[in-house]
Structure 1
Amino acid sequence: MAKKRKTKRQTPSVPVSLLSFHFNYCQTFMMTRLLLLLLFYCCLLSFPFHHGPVIAEAFTGTYGINYGRIADNIPPPESVVTLLKAAKIKNVKIYDSDHSVLTAFKDSGLELTIAIPNENVKDISASETRAMDWLKENVQPFLPNTKIRGITVGNEILGGGDQGLSEALLGAIKNVYNSLKTLQLEDQILVTSPHSQAVFGNSYPPSSCTFSENVMVYMKPILEFFSSIGSPFYVNVYPFIAYKSDPEHIDVNYALFKSNPGIYDAKTNLHYDNMFEAQVDAAYAALEAAGYSDMEVVVSETGWASAGDASEAGASVENARTYNFNLKKRLFKRKGTPLRPKKVLKAYIFALFNENLKWGPLSEKHYGLFNADGSISYNIGFTGLRPSSAGSSFLSFKDIGAEGRSMAYVKTLVSCIALLSAVFLTT
């Protein structure tokens, strides 16, 4: 009987097209997972992360304005809000905590730094309760609709000759900060104190600058406290004042950001073509000499008078226009100084209006970018509340590229999504 031959069992063959489909599917699946992972990381990188304690910041961008009101003929706060929004000036600093201003700024989107005037510093330094009462009256009722981002305690106290005020300053600063902490506002509202050039013993060349000995006894503990809470060093910088004090030896072009030979600092091997940056770096040098090289310098005031007494060299409309126009261009480059190139320079311009009731030399009444009626004092690119003989606006903040930090994050995120979408479409 014939035996059946065993046939070898064969595995059914898989069509090549099916294998190709399976391979392509796996490849696409893995690529999709990879791209989604990349998108996730892009999203993470688009938003800031804080390491350690959160530090309040009072400044968005690089350009701000001082809104002084020692005048009886300037527009009401509601009109000022309209003016500032039209000019796209977001950072505003005032010299008190006037409730009419705080109310007018409600829901405006403008970011406000308010002040404890010098005459209130001793009272605030007396106890934390006094500071808490001040905050509950002048800050807490207006939050969050009014964006109060900073509090300056006093103005140009150190180096001013009032020993009692100098002794009270640190206590007032600490009481305000500790009270903010009790209210859980310390990560929203920055605390600092502006200083004049009088706190420095020498500022030329910039690298030689140090704090004067009579100031250092008060300055050192303040800097130590600011360092612990992450506050910047606020300093008022006025090339105009330096120039008018010695016009025979200071090149006005150096003070106005115009073409000039500049100065050379042999110690740092740095060249300065304008006095503004030299004065800021002098402050950085003083901080470094005091042991605070990481502290940021913010210019709390700078400006140029458009008129002055006969003895005030350089006070003119043309010089004021030149200084403020060139300063605005400089700030919107968003770069640092020769000594601190990675620390973007920020400044509050002095001032919003000419103030007819200010005391002192005639120049004190003529620092305003705007006249009392809301028209521009001279043309640096702003539009006033009414037409002016100074001419119309020709340079807007948008043209220069003023953008808040949040817009940069949005742009980064959109770029990531667009890039990944393009990759998806080509796979």
Structure 2
Amino acid sequence: MTATTRTTSITTALLHLLHLSTTAFSIGVNYGTLANDLPSPSQVANFLKTKTIIDSIKIFDTNPDILRGFANTNITVTVTVGNGDIPALVDANAAGRWVANNIEPFYPQTRIKLIAVGNEILFSGNKDWISHLVPCIKSLHQALVRAGIDDVKVSTPYTLGILQDSVQPSAARIKPAYAKVVFAPMLEFLRQTKSPLLINPYPYFSYSQSMENYILFKPNPGIHDGNTNITYTNMFVAMMDAVYSAIKAMGYDDVDIVVAETGWPSLGDPDQPMCSVENAVLYNKNMIEVATSGEGTPLMPNRRFETYIFALFNENLKPGTAAERNWGLFRPDFTPVYDVGIMSSAVGKSNGSSPSPAASPSPATSPSTGASPSPTAKPIEWFSPITYHSKARQGVGRKRTLVTRHYKRTRTTCAPRVRSANLFKLAVPVTIPSSVRSLASSLIPLIMIWSVYI
């Protein structure tokens, strides 16, 4: 190895260290506005910037007040094209006007990061929207290029209903009806433009009492994937690996995966006992740690996942059950509904430490005392996230009730594959000390100068 190569390697490593130190606790939120008691967008922007570690938002339209309110905050914004606008925006002139009206007046003062084209279009039942989805995405991308905007990506969110029947995550595949017509050109576009695949994994919509421990990261025997010899002890990670397996089978495992929506309601109707503050904390806190720790998943190790929690606020005008109005992390007066470690004053305290014992799953091979099933216990069922109940979201479609499919899988006696730091336990994010960050920052320019004279 030459001196220049060594210098480049060292510099790259230090830059990677700096990147880890600044992104370890990154998390985003879905900012819905179906309420009559919410604070102004500028107040929301100031709160997120000064009081939380939230550094990105996703909105369900192109609300100009929100886009103006988040100007010069360094908080990134994902905007959404309405489902009904998709067919018209295939036209280049229409796409150009859309970019001129909804992106250019606010960019770059507002850090618009991505345009989400519709929401869960494949399950809208609208053939016109589905057939125009990929052409619309390409049309908007080309309009951005013509406008000289090269760092705003374009994609579309999917439910996990895109997957066909599979008995284990590694066997997951895109439904044949969509694979060639929609997903092949979509994934090729995402690869070429370095844009992410957006998914909306919701273990909540597969809830059953028998699956509670598996869904909420509590100790449980896990679900064994015989193809990979991996035992999954929570549904969120299994869902992530199922999506990865599906796109890998199509040859696109290099496409990044972003969690565009996931969450848990903190309150429901009397017949919705799973909707509680305790369960919302269990799910969201553990999910955040999986997404941000850098541990990754069994099939995607050493990765962080850009993630948007649903939702920022409780929204009092949403129709449906009480659960629909109680997905928020915060009340309209900015008081937390519960604590999952996203307040800026709690970065080192809440996110740098393990969840409470009740929230932390133990290794799949040795559940903690009192949590192990009896020898005659019923095997855990793995809910294949093919179709599941989809909640009502303002501005992006109607409430849909879909069939949930599940499969009984008996846990085998094979030991799970051994991985560093036990990937089947919740990984805990590690805080990079500020002194290390400062040292890396000071060394990089010196190394760059040194490399010139070698």
Tell me, yes or no, whether TM beats 0.5: yes
Q: State the Cα distance separating 1:320 from its structure 2 match.
A: 0.6
Q: Are the equivalent residues in 2 in contact too, given 1:379–1:393 (CA < 8 A)?
A: no
Cα distance in 2, alignment partners of residues 283 and 192 from structure 1: 16
Matched, 1:296 2:296: no
Deviation for aligned residue 1:268: 1.3
**2:118 corresponds to 1:154:** yes
Q: Say whether the 8 Å CA contact 1:321–1:380 is kept in structure 2.
A: yes
Indicate whether 1:99 and 2:64 are aligned: yes
Aligned residue identity for 1:271: T
Counting only pairs closer than 5 Å after superposition, residues 215-294 of structure 1 correspond to structure 2 as 215-216=178-179, 217-243=181-207, 246-248=208-210, 250=211, 252-294=212-254
Superimposed CA distance per residue, residues 91-115 of structure 1 (whole angstroms, 9 cap, x where no aligned partner): 1111111110111111111111111
Q: Equivalent residues in 2 for 1:24-423 (5 A)?
A: 42=10, 46=14, 62-85=26-49, 86-125=51-90, 127-186=91-150, 188-216=151-179, 217-243=181-207, 246-248=208-210, 250=211, 252-383=212-343, 395=349, 412-415=440-443
Between Structure 1 and Structure 2, whose CA radius of gyration is higher?
Answer: 1
Shift of 1:179: 0.8
Cα distance in 1, alignment partners of residues 5 and 172 from structure 2: 51
Report the CA distance shift for 1:416/1:138 in structure 2 as closer, same or farther (over 3 A): closer
Distance across 1 between alignment mates of 2:250 and 2:333: 45
Given the superposition, is the C-alpha separation of residues 169 and 410 from structure 1 closer, same or farther in structure 2, using an over 3 Å criterion? farther
RMSD: 3.2
Classify the secondary structure of the residue corresponding to 2:54. Answer: coil
> Which residue type is aligned with residue 373 of structure 1?
D
Aligned positions, number: 362
Q: TM-score, normalised to structure 2's length?
A: 0.72
Inter-partner Cα distance in structure 2 for 1:231 and 1:408: 32
User: 3-state DSSP class of the match of 1:220?
Assistant: helix
Task: Give unpaired runs (5+ residues) of structure 1.
Answer: 1-33, 49-58, 385-391, 421-427
The gaps in structure 2 that reach 5 residues or longer are 17-22, 354-428, 449-454
Shift of 1:393: 9.5
Deviation at 1:35, TM superposition (A): 10
Q: 1:329/1:121 Cα in 2 relative to 1: closer, same or farther (>3 Å)?
A: same
**CA contact under 8 A between 1:302 and 1:348: conserved in structure 2?**
yes
Q: Give secondary structure in 2 for the equivalent of 1:173.
A: helix
1:27-70: CA deviations, max 9, x gaps? xxxxxxx999987875576558xxxxxxxxxx996421111111
CA separation of 1:228 and 1:413: change in aligned 2, threshold 3 A: same
CA displacement at 1:184 relative to structure 2: 2.4
Give the % identical residues.
34
Equivalent pair of 1:160/1:198 in contact (CA under 8 Å): no
- Residues 43 and 381 of structure 1: is their aligned pair in 2 closer, same or farther, counting only changes over 3 Å? closer
Distance (Å, rounded) in 2 between the aligned partners of 1:282 and 1:228: 23
Q: Give, as a single letter, the amino acid of the residue that structure 1 aligns with 2:440.
A: T
Deviation of the 1:181 alpha carbon: 1.2
- Select the structure with the greater relative contact order (CA < 8 A; seq sep ≥ 6): 2
The AA in structure 2 aligned to 1:65 is V
CA 1:203–1:36: 2 relative to 1, 3 Å? closer
Measured after TM superposition, the shift of residue 293 of structure 1 is 2.2
SS of the counterpart of 1:371? coil
* Corresponding residue SS for 2:260: strand
Does the 8 Å contact 1:88/1:397 carry over to 2?
A: no
CA distance in 1 between counterparts of 2:44 and 2:301 reads 34
Residue 162 of structure 1 deviates from its aligned partner by 1.3
Give the secondary structure class of the aligned counterpart of 1:191.
strand
How many Å separate the matches in 2 of 1:40 and 1:285?
34
Q: 1:156 to 1:40 in 2, by over 3 A?
A: closer
Which structure dedicates a bigger proportion of its chain to helix? 1
Question: Matches of 2:9 and 2:173 in 1, distance apart?
Answer: 45
Change (3 A) 1:199 1:42: closer
1:155-200, Cα deviation, whole Å (9 max, x unpaired): 11013311111011111101110111112212x1111111012211
CA contact (8 A) 2:24 2:294 kept: no
> Deviation digits for residues 342-382 of structure 1, max 9, x if unmatched?
44323111110111222333322111001122211112234
Confirm or deny: 8 A CA contact 1:233 1:297 kept in the other structure: yes
Deviations 1:245-303 (A, max 9, x none): x333x2x1221122221111001111212111100111111112223222221111110
Query: Equivalents in 2 of 1:35, 1:214: separation in Å?
Result: 54
Mapped to 1, the partners of 2:219 and 2:6 lie a distance apart of 48
